[in-house]
Amino acid sequence: MSTFTIDSATSRATPTPVPGKRMTVPAIRARKAGGTSAEPLVMLTAYTMRTAQLLDPHCEMLLVGDSLGQVIYGLPSTVPVTLEMMCAHGAAVVRGSWHALVAVDMPFGSYEGSPEQAFASAARVMKETGCAAVKLEGGEAMAPTVEFLTRRGIPVIGHVGLTPQAVNVLGGYGARGKSEAEAAKIVGDAKAVADAGAFCVVVEGVIESIADAVTKAIGVPTIGIGASANCDGQVLVTEDMLGLFERTPRFVKRYADLASEIGAAAAAYRDEVRARAFPSAEQVYRAKP
Ligand code: KIV
C-alpha cells in the first residue's frame, strides 16, 4: 500500500502525505486499558524521510532514537549526540510519515540539569520537528522532570533498565537486573516515571523476569528491547533488524540481509562501470530526430 503521492514533477524529496489520522498519545495509552494489552505495539527507529515512509504503515510508533549517533554518524556512543541532530532527523521522519506517532529522543545533556532545561529542550524538539512526544532516559531521578513536562503539554516516553546514555556510569551495555537490588530498582524506576505521567516506558536490556514484573507493575504500555515478549510492545533499531551491520546483539533478530544486498549491488555497478556496460543505451539521452 502506498501512503504517499510523490510529486515527480518536482522532486522525489518532497512527498505529500495522504491526509490521515495519526496515532495519538491517548490511543497508545488505551492499548493497555484494563491492565493488559491484547495486541502488542509495534515500534521501530527511523532517522530519515524515506525510511519513515517505508516503515510507517507497519508501526504504531516511530522512534527517532539517539542511536542515530552510532548508526548514522559513526559516533562511539550516544553521548555526543546533539539537539541539532535530533531536530534535523526528527523533522525528516515527521515529513515521511502520516500514520505512526513519532517520538524523538532527548539527547544526553539536554534535559538532566533541571525540569526547566528539559522543558526548553523538549519544546524546541516539538516545535522544530512536529513530533508528538519525546523520550528520555532514567527512572526515579527523572520522575519530577517527567511530571513537569507532561503537566505542561509534552508527552513523555520513559526509558529504564539499560540506559545507553549512562554508559560511562554503567561501564558497558550488558543486561541489567542480575542482582535482586538492581531488579527492584528497575521496577521502582518504571513505576516512578509511569506515576509521573509517562504514557509508555521503554524497557531495555533486562532479564525476562524483570520485563514481566515491570509490565505487571505499571498501567501504561511497556515497550521492550532485549526485554522478552512479555512487554506490551517491542522496538528495535531498524538498521539492526535489516541486517546492515555485521555484528548484532543477541536480542536482535535479522529480518533481512541488506548489507549483503548493498555490497552485491555496489560490486555489480563497479563491474559494469569498469566494463563500460553502464550506462547502456537505455540510460543515455539522445537528440530527438
Ligand atoms: O536510541 C534508540 O534507538 C533507543 C531504542 C534502542 C529504544 O532508545
Q: Are 173 and 205 in contact (CB under 8 A)?
A: yes
Tell me how crowded residue 2 is: count the other CB atoms within 10 A of its CB: 9
Quick: pLDDT tens for 64-107: 999 999 999 999 999 999 999 999 999 999 999 999 999 999 99
Q: Are 102 and 155 in contact (CB under 8 A)?
A: no
The reply to whether ligand 1 has any atom less than 6 angstroms from the CB of 45 is yes
Q: Are 25 and 70 in contact (CB under 8 A)?
A: no
- Catalytic residue (choose from 182, 204, 246, 272): 204
Lowest mean pLDDT among 131-140, 228-237, 245-254: 245-254
Q: Which domains does the chain have, with CATH numbers?
A: 25-283 (3.20.20.60)
Question: How many angstroms separate the CA atoms of 227 and 276, rounded?
Answer: 51
14 pLDDT band, cuts 50/70/90, is: low
Question: How many angstroms separate the CA atoms of 182 and 176, rounded?
Answer: 7
Amino acid 17: pLDDT:
56
Q: Whose CA is nearest to atom 5 of ligand 1?
A: 65
Strand 41-45 to strand 15-17: parallel, antiparallel, or no bridges (unpaired)? unpaired
Is the pLDDT score of 46 beyond 80?
yes
Question: How many angstroms separate the CA atoms of 144 and 150, rounded?
Answer: 10
Question: How many angstroms separate the CA atoms of 4 and 11, rounded?
Answer: 13
The reply to whether ligand 1 has any atom less than 6 angstroms from the CB of 105 is yes
Q: What is the DSSP letter of 176?
A: B
Q: Are 78 and 69 in contact (CB under 8 A)?
A: yes
Amino acid 3: pLDDT:
44
Closest Cα to residue 219, out of 53, 33, 70, 44?
Answer: 33
The reply to whether ligand 1 has any atom less than 6 angstroms from the CB of 196 is no
pLDDT mean over 3-15? 51
Q: Are 10 and 1 in contact (CB under 8 A)?
A: no
The reply to whether ligand 1 has any atom less than 6 angstroms from the CB of 237 is yes
Q: Look over the chain and give the mean of its residue pLDDT values, rounded to a whole number.
A: 93
Distances (CA, A) of 72 to 66, 77, 125: 10, 12, 19
Percentage of residues of the chain with pLDDT beyond 90: 86
Amino acid 1: pLDDT:
36
Q: How many residues does the chain have?
A: 289
Question: How many angstroms separate the CA atoms of 44 and 35, rounded?
Answer: 23
Residue 86: phi, psi to the nearest 5?
Answer: -65, -35
Pocket test for ligand 1, best of 63, 85, 89, 134 (most atoms within 8 A of CB): 63
Amino acid 25: pLDDT:
98
Is the pLDDT score of 36 beyond 90?
no
Percentage of residues of the chain with pLDDT beyond 70: 93
Handedness of CA 160, 146, 28, 100 (dihedral sign): negative
Q: Are 104 and 86 in contact (CB under 8 A)?
A: yes
- With cell 488505551, the residue in question is 30
Q: Which residue has the higher pLDDT, 20 or 117?
A: 117
Helices (H), the chain: 25-30, 49-55, 68-71, 83-95, 115-129, 143-150, 167-170, 180-195, 208-217, 238-241, 258-274
248-252 long-range contacts, CB within 8 A, separation 24+:
249/173, 250/226, 251/205, 251/225, 251/226, 251/227
Give the Å distance between the CA of 78 and the centre of ligand 1.
10
Question: How many angstroms separate the CA atoms of 241 and 135, rounded?
Answer: 21
Amino acid 35: pLDDT:
86
Quick: pLDDT tens for 202-244: 999 999 999 999 999 999 999 999 999 999 999 999 999 999 9
Quick: pLDDT tens for 197-211: 999 999 999 999 999
2 pLDDT band, cuts 50/70/90, is: very low
pLDDT mean over 38-43? 95
Is the pLDDT score of 39 beyond 80?
yes
